[in-house]
Amino acid sequence: MDETAVRANPRPPRRPGDRIFSGFATAAAALILVALAGVGLFLTSEGIPALTAGKNEVPGGNGILAYAWPLVFGTLLSSAIALIVAAPLAIGVALFISHYAPRRLAIPLGYLVDLLAAVPSIVYGLWGFFFLAPRMGPLYGWLDDHAGFIPLFAGPASPTGRTMLTVGLVLAVMILPIVTALCREIFLQTPRLHEEAALALGATRWEMVRMTVFPYARSGMVSAAMLGLGRALGETIAVATVLSVSGVVTFNVISSTNPGTIAANIALKFPEASGIEVNVLVATGLVLFLITFAVNFVARAIVGRRSEFSGAN
């Protein structure tokens, strides 16, 4: 074969093996899109009968909206508590690991926090039910007596401690590892020169963190918190184990009458459900899917936008 022939065909030949392999890889990637579309599609197809069903057929007898509203409310309330507790704590822990702990200890300490993520949610449920809830009971009594004028603590306090606030705390512990891990990654990416410049100008360590780390990591912290929120919204078994549910809509977080959450309600009702109730539960699951999808989508979009510009910083 002469030189011109080589130059005439500069692209390497596509061998059958290449074509088959890249075909498999592309098919696998496409399958993920199909699966995600399938989740939306099948949930919709199973959920639609609940939307079209008569008011009296839906459990509770007031239609799907009246059925779903307390659950949506409970889901949002418990996740909001979890986020309010977990976000500052996670930022503190991440900062401790990235900027405060001795270098040598930082990695093992990071593993320790990651271990929290490995504990299954049912074990968190048992922990919340047998350990946390009984210990929170007296605190709720105290809050009821001394802070009862705040609607959140209106009482009457639950003696068992199986309340919305307890659930929020359990969820906070459960989302702590993921928020911490994401924050830690972002904190570690702060340009070293920014930090050293701040220190060289005489800043204390905290001033250095406030002037260089936080501005750099702001959008990342927001999206980490939102990803944690997505986790808290969908958490099922821990909530189903801990919370005592009575289907009311109330901001009172220390009493024994609480709204349920979508996920926990499905877990509690589904094993014995039949007929239209299954469709109702699937429809609430679809609502949960849409809420978490939106939260995750926005969070990832924030991260994605940031990563495009991070090279310039």
Partner 1 sequence: MTTPTQTEPRPNPGTSERLDERLHSPQLPRWTPWAVLAAAAVVTVLLNTVGGQGKALSVVLGWLIFVVTLTVMSRLYEGGRKSVDRLATVMVTTAFVVALMPLGTLLYLVVSNGAPALSGSFLSASMRNVVGEGGGIFHALWGTLLVTGMAAAMSIPIGLLTGIYLVEYGRGRLARWVTLLVDVMTGIPSIVAGLFAYALFVLFFGEGIRMGFGGAVALSLLMIPLVVRSSEEMLKLVPNELREASYALGVPKWRTITKVVLPTAMAGIVTGITIAIARVIGETAPLLIICGSTDSTNFDLFHGRMMTLPVYIYSQYKNPGFPPEFGIERAWGAALVLTIIIMVLNLVARLISYYFSPKTKV
Q: Which of residues 23-42 bind partner 1 (CB under 8 A)?
A: 24-33, 35-36, 38-39, 42
Our CB check for partner 1 shows the closer of 143 and 237 to be 237
The answer to whether 124 contacts partner 1 (rule: CB under 8 A) is: yes
Site residues for partner 1, 51-70, by CB under 8 A, read none
The answer to whether 107 contacts partner 1 (rule: CB under 8 A) is: no
DSSP string computed for 183-217: HHHHHHTS-HHHHHHHHHTT--HHHHIIIIIHHHH
Collect all residues with Cβ–Cβ distance below 8 Å to 70 and sequence separation of at least 6.
247, 248, 249, 259, 260
Alpha carbon separation from 298 to 32, 109, 134, 197 (Å, rounded) = 20, 30, 38, 34
Q: Nearest distance from residue 258's CB to partner 1, in Å?
A: 18
Per-residue contact string for residues 255-284; x = within reach of partner 1 by CB under 8 A = --------x--xx--xx--xx--x--xx--
How far, in Å, CA of 79 to CA of 149, rounded? 24
Our CB check for partner 1 shows the closer of 205 and 251 to be 205
- Residues touching partner 1, count (CB under 8 A): 96
- The answer to whether the beta carbons of residues 39 and 289 sit under 8 Å apart is yes
Collect all residues with Cβ–Cβ distance below 8 Å to 223 and sequence separation of at least 6.
182, 299, 300, 302, 303, 306
Amino acid at 227: L
Q: Nearest distance from residue 1's CB to partner 1, in Å?
A: 14
The answer to whether 43 contacts partner 1 (rule: CB under 8 A) is: yes
- The answer to whether the beta carbons of residues 262 and 245 sit under 8 Å apart is no
The answer to whether 285 contacts partner 1 (rule: CB under 8 A) is: yes
Site residues for partner 1, 198-237, by CB under 8 A, read 204-207, 209, 227, 230-231, 233-237
The answer to whether 254 contacts partner 1 (rule: CB under 8 A) is: no
- The answer to whether the beta carbons of residues 292 and 233 sit under 8 Å apart is yes
The answer to whether 145 contacts partner 1 (rule: CB under 8 A) is: no
How far, in Å, CA of 228 to CA of 181, rounded? 11
Q: Nearest distance from residue 176's CB to partner 1, in Å?
A: 6
Site residues for partner 1, 68-97, by CB under 8 A, read 88-93, 95-97
The answer to whether 307 contacts partner 1 (rule: CB under 8 A) is: no
